[in-house]
């Protein structure tokens, strides 16, 4: 398929022997290596049990809940939860505001993912070219911002973009002819969401850079040399050698980014002091709003379920990649 | 010859300038947090703040500790994160061993299943989890929070430990078994010591993840039981936000975590990429 599959010995694990078959054919020196088929399952049991309980049950409950009428009175047990068929979905899907939120979320996530991946790749490539001391400095900053708790980062960005005392407005105002002091970035949805996107990208780029840098060390130098001898420029080398080798990592990073960016919650929630205005709602805050502000848990669940279904498409791509990795063995 | 050398040098300089730009841009939010945290509060409220520190004071930290109880939330975060890591590591290690050292029917389904669990957005779970804990009388209890945190710590732990285990050659184990060790003995004497650094890194990283979690902590605990991340919300009141103490609070939350993170990230990256490129 590509260079990645055929020419990177580092990535192919050494062939592993399957556990030797049990039985008298074994040489006498061989100790008992056979294990009953139950052993791996016994080892897995606690993990699977916990996941089934803390994931499986709520997931199933999410589905049933979205087909019920479930509000405050059901929560306190004054009324039994009754099944209402597709009512919640009809209500949600028939609501124009919901579709606005869906489009907004997709645009936001797509923008954040593209910026994250492009900037991440550019920095990863740049890191290969800068001097050693600078590489160390950049790495420290990247890791530090990666490790910052999301809440702390959000709080800091809120301060950077404060309308009266934020340093960002002050810096912009230093430009000739620009007067930004007092400018409220959160007065309008698109501007405010742009700031939130900046926060998301800033927090996501380090992971991408560090993972891609690890991947770049696995690009065989001989292959790059060969491409260069064949007349490829630096773009050609990147396009036909580097990119194919990195493809599995890029697919993984993109999928994870889509999942994370479709799922932004604290960034929007905290940035808007816990009450995002209508033009700041994304799917997750919208679902939260329906459930815990309007107290319609069923509708909130329906929205959450639709979000999960939207994500499944993306996850399918990732799963195929994962299955391929599983086949390598 | 010399012209290509100077050309190369110019290019390198150009890359370094770009690199410095990246360094400054990426680092600026961190710098500004520290700068505001340590400068006198009245200097923070300046429409034209100077970029350089105006003087160092610890007053903001004192004020941050005054605004709302700090050690209570930190203690609770500590209890929750430690419990999650201990349970997650014990259970996750067994599962990671099963999928990386045994060939068995259904293995691939288990791997994909554990990965798939990671894909479910936490927010989708929050409503049913809230109702479940409500029914079980675990709402506003740390135990309830610990149980729910396992949903994202456990898959992560299994996946990362697996990355570390596949890096330990199976031949070492087999050699020990040839020399008369039992499978368990081979694991305890050969694999476990080699795995220990990876386990430490995974624990620290898991601890950080649990420590940083916000949504569940916000939803499943009331004000009186809040954890450290939620504590940070105390600086914003109806009367406005006290930014200088808030940045001091943010610093207190971030610095230990960032330091831990810097310590283990190299190991973590190794485990993660090994898990991604090796079966």
- Which of A54, A170, A211 minimises the CB distance to B151? A54
> Which of B35, B165, B276 to probe by mutation at the A interface, max A CB count within 10 Å?
B276
Q: B276 pLDDT exceeds 60? A: no
Q: B6 pLDDT exceeds 90? A: no
Question: Which residues make beta-bridge pairs with B236?
Answer: B241
CB proximity A121 to B under 8 Å: no
Extended beta strands in chain B, E state:
236-237, 240-241
> In degrees, to the nearest 5, what angle opens at C-alpha A182 toward C-alphas A180 and A184?
90
Interface touch B277/A297, C-beta < 8 Å: no
pLDDT at A311: 85
Contacts of B235 in chain A (CB under 8 A): 155
pLDDT at A234: 84
Q: A29 pLDDT exceeds 90? A: no
Summarised one tens digit per residue, pLDDT across range B112-137 is 788 777 777 777 788 889 888 888 88
> In degrees, to the nearest 5, what angle opens at C-alpha B151 toward C-alphas B148 and B153?
105
Higher confidence at residue A194 or residue B68?
Answer: A194
Contacts of B141 (CB under 8 A, 6+ apart): B133
Contacts of B80 (CB under 8 A, 6+ apart): B142, B145, B146, B149, B210, B227
CB proximity B119 to A under 8 Å: yes
The SS3 call for residue B80 is helix
Q: A140 pLDDT exceeds 60? A: yes
Q: A201 pLDDT exceeds 90? A: yes
Contacts of B232 in chain A (CB under 8 A): 151-152, 155
Interface A-B: count of C-beta contacts within 8 A: 303
pLDDT at A139: 92
Contacts of A253 in chain B (CB under 8 A): none
- Burial call A168-200: b when 16+ CB within 10 Å, e when fewer: bbbbebeeeeeebeebebbeeeeebbebbbbbb
pLDDT at A324: 66
Contacts of B36 (CB under 8 A, 6+ apart): A159, B44, B60, B243, B244, B247
Residues 6-25 of B with CB under 8 A from A: 12, 15-16, 18-20, 22-23
Residue of chain B whose alpha carbon sits nearest to that of A128: B15
Interface touch A159/B243, C-beta < 8 Å: yes
pLDDT at B272: 66
Contacts of A173 in chain B (CB under 8 A): 48
Q: A187 pLDDT exceeds 70? A: yes
% of chain B exceeding 90 in pLDDT: 28
CB proximity B239 to A under 8 Å: no
Summarised one tens digit per residue, pLDDT across range B228-254 is 888 888 887 766 778 888 899 999 988
- Which of B102, B108, B261 minimises the CB distance to A326? B108
The SS3 call for residue B70 is coil
Q: A127: which 2 tokens? A: 């890191």
> What is the average pLDDT value for chain B, to the nearest integer?
86
Interface touch B30/A141, C-beta < 8 Å: yes
Higher confidence at residue A74 or residue B97?
Answer: B97
The SS3 call for residue B149 is helix
Mean pLDDT of A221-234: 86
Residue A68 backbone phi and psi in degrees, to 5:
-120, 170
Rg (CA), chain A: 26
pLDDT at B45: 80
Q: B149 pLDDT exceeds 80? A: yes
Reported as a pLDDT band with limits 50, 70 and 90, residue A13 is very low
> What is the average pLDDT value for chain A, to the nearest integer?
83
Rg (CA), chain B: 24
Residues 56-75 of B with CB under 8 A from A: none
Distance from CA of B39 to the nearest CA of A (A): 14
Summarised one tens digit per residue, pLDDT across range B182-199 is 888 888 888 888 899 889
- Which of A134, A150, A210 minimises the CB distance to B19? A134
- Hey, how many other C-beta atoms are within 10 angstroms of the C-beta on B181? 18
Reported as a pLDDT band with limits 50, 70 and 90, residue A83 is confident
Summarised one tens digit per residue, pLDDT across range B202-226 is 999 899 999 989 989 988 898 888 8
Residue listed under structure tokens 């773009």: A235
Write down how long chain B is: 279
- Burial call B151-179: b when 16+ CB within 10 Å, e when fewer: bbbbbbbbbbbbbbbbbbebeebbebbee
pLDDT at A26: 43
Reported as a pLDDT band with limits 50, 70 and 90, residue A141 is very high
- ipTM score: 0.86
pLDDT at A192: 94
Residue of chain A whose alpha carbon sits nearest to that of B124: A304
Q: B109 pLDDT exceeds 80? A: yes
Interface touch A147/B119, C-beta < 8 Å: no
Q: Decide if A298 contacts B131 (C-beta within 8 A).
A: no
HEC secondary structure over chain A: CCHHHHHCHHHCCCCCCCCCCCCCCCCCCCCCCCCCCHHHHHHHHHHHHHHHHHHHHHHHHHHHHCCEECCHHHHCCCCCCEECCCHHHHHHHCCHHHHHHHHHHHHHHHHHHHHHHHHHHHHHHHHCCCCHHHHHHHHHHHHHHHHCCHHHHHHHHHHHCCCCCCHHHHHHHHCCCCCCCCCCCCCCHHHHHHHHHHHHHHHHHHHHHHHHHHHHCCCCHHHHHHHHHCCCCHHHHHHHHHHHHHHHHHHHHHHHHHHHHHCCCHHHHHHCCCCCCHHHCCHHHHHHHHHHHCCCHHHHHHHHHHHHHHHHHHHHHHHHHHHHHHHHC
Interface touch A156/B260, C-beta < 8 Å: no
Distance from CA of A192 to the nearest CA of B (A): 17
**Residue A268's closest CA among A287, A296, A242?**
A287
Residue of chain A whose alpha carbon sits nearest to that of B170: A16
Distance from CA of B188 to the nearest CA of A (A): 15
pLDDT at A195: 96
Higher confidence at residue B111 or residue B269?
Answer: B111
CB proximity A35 to B under 8 Å: yes
Q: Decide if B146 contacts B80 (C-beta within 8 A).
A: yes
Q: B2 pLDDT exceeds 80? A: no
Higher confidence at residue A98 or residue A311?
Answer: A98
Summarised one tens digit per residue, pLDDT across range B65-94 is 888 888 999 999 999 999 999 999 999 999
């Amino acid at each position: 398929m590509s260079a990645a599959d055929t020419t990177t010995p580092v990535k192919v694990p050494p062939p592993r022997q399957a556990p030797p078959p049990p039985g008298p054919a074994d040489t006498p020196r061989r100790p008992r290596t056979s294990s009953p088929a139950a052993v791996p399952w016994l080892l897995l049991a606690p993990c699977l049990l916990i996941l089934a309980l803390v994931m499986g049950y709520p997931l199933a409950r999410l589905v049933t809940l979205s087909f019920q009428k479930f509000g405050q009175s059901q929560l306190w047990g004054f009324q039994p939860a009754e099944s209402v068929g597709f009512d919640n979905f009809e209500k949600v899907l028939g609501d124009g505001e919901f579709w606005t939120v869906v489009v907004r979320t997709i645009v936001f996530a797509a923008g954040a993912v593209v910026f994250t991946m492009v900037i991440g790749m550019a920095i990863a490539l740049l890191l290969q070219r800068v001097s050693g001391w600078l590489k160390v400095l950049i790495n420290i900053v990247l890791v530090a911002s990666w490790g910052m708790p999301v809440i702390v980062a959000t709080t800091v960005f809120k301060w950077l973009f404060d309308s009266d005392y934020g340093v960002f407005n002050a810096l912009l105002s230093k430009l000739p002819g620009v007067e930004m002091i007092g400018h409220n970035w959160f007065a309008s949805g698109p501007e405010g969401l742009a700031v939130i996107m900046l926060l998301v990208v800033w927090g996501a780029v380090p992971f991408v850079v560090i993972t891609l840098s690890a991947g770049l060390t696995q690009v065989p130098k001989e292959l790059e040399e060969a491409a260069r001898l064949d007349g490829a420029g630096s773009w050609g080398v990147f396009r036909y050698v580097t990119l194919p080798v990195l493809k599995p990592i890029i697919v993984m990073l993109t999928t994870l980014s889509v999942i994370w960016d479709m799922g932004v919650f604290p960034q929007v929630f905290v940035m808007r002091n816990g009450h995002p205005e209508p033009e700041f709602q994304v799917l997750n805050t919208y679902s939260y709003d329906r459930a815990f502000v309007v107290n319609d848990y069923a509708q909130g669940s329906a929205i959450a379920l639709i979000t999960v279904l939207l994500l499944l498409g993306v996850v399918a791509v990732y799963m195929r990649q994962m299955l391929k990795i599983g086949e390598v063995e | 010859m010399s012209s290509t050398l100077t050309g190369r040098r110019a290019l390198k300089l150009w890359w370094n300038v770009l690199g410095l730009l990246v360094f400054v841009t990426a680092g600026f939010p961190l710098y500004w947090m520290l700068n505001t945290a340590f400068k006198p509060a009245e200097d923070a409220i300046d429409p034209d703040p100077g970029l350089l520190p105006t003087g160092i004071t610890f007053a903001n930290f004192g004020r941050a500790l005054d605004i709302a109880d700090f050690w209570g939330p930190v203690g609770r975060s500590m209890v929750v994160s430690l419990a999650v890591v201990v349970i997650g590591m014990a259970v996750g290690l067994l599962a990671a061993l099963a999928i990386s050292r045994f060939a068995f029917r259904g293995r691939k389904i288990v791997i994909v299943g554990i990965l798939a669990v990671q894909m479910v957005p936490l927010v989708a779970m929050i409503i049913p989890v809230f109702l479940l804990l409500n029914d079980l009388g675990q709402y506003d209890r740390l135990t309830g929070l610990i149980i729910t945190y396992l949903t994202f710590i456990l898959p992560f732990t299994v996946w990362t430990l697996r990355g570390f285990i596949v890096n330990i050659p199976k031949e070492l184990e087999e050699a020990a078994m040839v020399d008369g060790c039992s499978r368990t003995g081979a694991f305890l004497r050969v694999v476990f010591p080699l795995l220990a650094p990876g386990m430490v890194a995974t624990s620290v990283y898991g601890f950080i993840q649990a420590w940083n979690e916000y949504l569940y902590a916000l939803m499943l605990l009331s004000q009186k039981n809040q954890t450290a991340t939620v504590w940070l919300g105390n600086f914003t009141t109806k009367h406005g936000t006290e930014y200088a103490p808030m940045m001091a609070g943010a610093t207190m939350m971030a610095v230990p975590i960032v330091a831990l993170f810097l310590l283990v990230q190299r190991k973590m990256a190794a485990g993660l990429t090994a898990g991604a490129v090796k079966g």
